[in-house]
A and B are shown apart, each in its own frame.
Chain A
Amino acid sequence: QSVLTQPPSVSGVPGQRVTISCTGSSSNIGAPYDVHWYQQLPGTAPKLLIYGNSNRPSGVPDRFSGSKSGTSASLAITGLQTEDEADYYCQSYDSSLSGCVFGGGTKLTVL
C-alpha cells in the first residue's frame, strides 16, 4: 500500500482533458513538501514530467500541468494524445519515514 494514493486507472479520448489525483497526509504533501510527477511509457524508465508542484522541465509540452492544495495534488493533461498512454506517478518526501514516497501509479488509457 503506497503512502500517496492515486487512482489505479483513468481513461480519455483524444483531445479530451483528464486529471490524475494524488492524496497524501500532513507528513508529506501537507507538510508541505513539493509534489513531483513522472511519466513511464511502456517498457521504459520513468521520466520527470512536473517538478515543484507545477513546473515543467524543458521539453515537456504545456499540455501537462500540475497543482497542489493542502494534502493533495493533481496532474492535468489537456488535448489528450495517443502517445500520452503511460503510467503516471506522483512523488513527495515524507518526514515520518525520512525518505521519498511515491504514489501507486495511474495507468492512463487513451481510447
Chain B
Amino acid sequence: EVQLVESGGGLIQPGGSLRLSCAASGFTVSSNHMSWVRQAPGKGLEWVSVIYRDATTYYADSVRGRFTISRDNSKNMLYVQMKSLRAEDTAVYYCASYDGSGYYGRWGQGTLVTVSS
C-alpha cells in the first residue's frame, strides 16, 4: 500500500526556519515527480513546489527564494526547507505525487505549520 506521511510541522516564530519531511512507503520518491501543496486554515489549495524525477525544481512566486525542496533517495524521503517564515505561510502542508500528466495522484495526511509570535 502506498503511503505518504508528513512530519515536522509546528509553531514557529516569524522569521524562523522549519524543515518538513515526507516519508514514502510502497512508493519510490526518486522515481516520481513530487510536490508540496499547502492549505491555509479555511482556505483553498495552493501549489508550493515541485521536484521532478530529473531533480529539476520549481517554486510558487510566494515562496521562491525562501523554500527549498529536496529529496533523499537512500531514505525515500521528500523535504521542504522553509526559512524567513511569515504569518501567511501558516497552513497544512501536504506532500503529493505529481503525475507527468499534471495531476496529484497520491497525498499525505498533511502537517500543520503555524507561524506566529
Question: Could you list which residues of chain A lie within 8 angstroms of chain B, going by C-beta atoms?
Answer: 2, 33-34, 36, 38, 44-48, 51-52, 57, 89, 91-93, 97-105
Q: How far is the CB of A32 from chain B (nearest CB, A)?
A: 11
- List, in ascending order, chain B residues with CB within 8 A of A48's CB: 103-105
Closest to A2 in B: B44
Query: In the complex the two chains form, is B61's CB within 8 Å of A93's CB?
Result: no
Closest to A6 in B: B44
Complex partner residue of B107 from A47, A57, A92, A100, CB under 8 angstroms: A47
Q: Is B26 an interface residue (CB 8 A)?
A: no
Q: How far is the CB of B103 from chain A (nearest CB, A)?
A: 4
Query: In the complex the two chains form, is A45's CB within 8 Å of B109's CB?
Result: yes
Q: How far is the CB of B65 from chain A (nearest CB, A)?
A: 15
Closest to A51 in B: B103
In whole angstroms, how far apart are the Cα atoms of A40 and B99 in the complex? 19
User: 5 tightest A-B contacts by CB?
Assistant: A36-B103, A100-B47, A105-B44, A45-B107, A51-B103
Total A-B residue pairs with C-beta atoms closer than 8 Å?
60
Q: How far is the CB of B68 from chain A (nearest CB, A)?
A: 16
The interface residues of chain B, by DSSP majority, are classed as strand
Query: In the complex the two chains form, is A102's CB within 8 Å of B45's CB?
Result: yes
In whole angstroms, how far apart are the Cα atoms of A47 and B44 in the complex? 14
Task: For the complex, count residues of B whose C-beta is within 8 A of A.
Answer: 23
Q: Is B41 an interface residue (CB 8 A)?
A: no
A-facing residues in B58-117 (Cβ within 8 Å):
58-61, 94, 98-99, 101-105, 107-110
- List, in ascending order, chain A residues with CB within 8 A of B102's CB: 33-34, 36, 92-93, 100
- List, in ascending order, chain A residues with CB within 8 A of B44's CB: 2, 89, 102-105
- List, in ascending order, chain A residues with CB within 8 A of B46's CB: 102
Closest to B109 in A: A45
- List, in ascending order, chain A residues with CB within 8 A of B109's CB: 44-45
Q: How far is the CB of A64 from chain B (nearest CB, A)?
A: 15
Closest to A100 in B: B47
Closest to A97 in B: B61
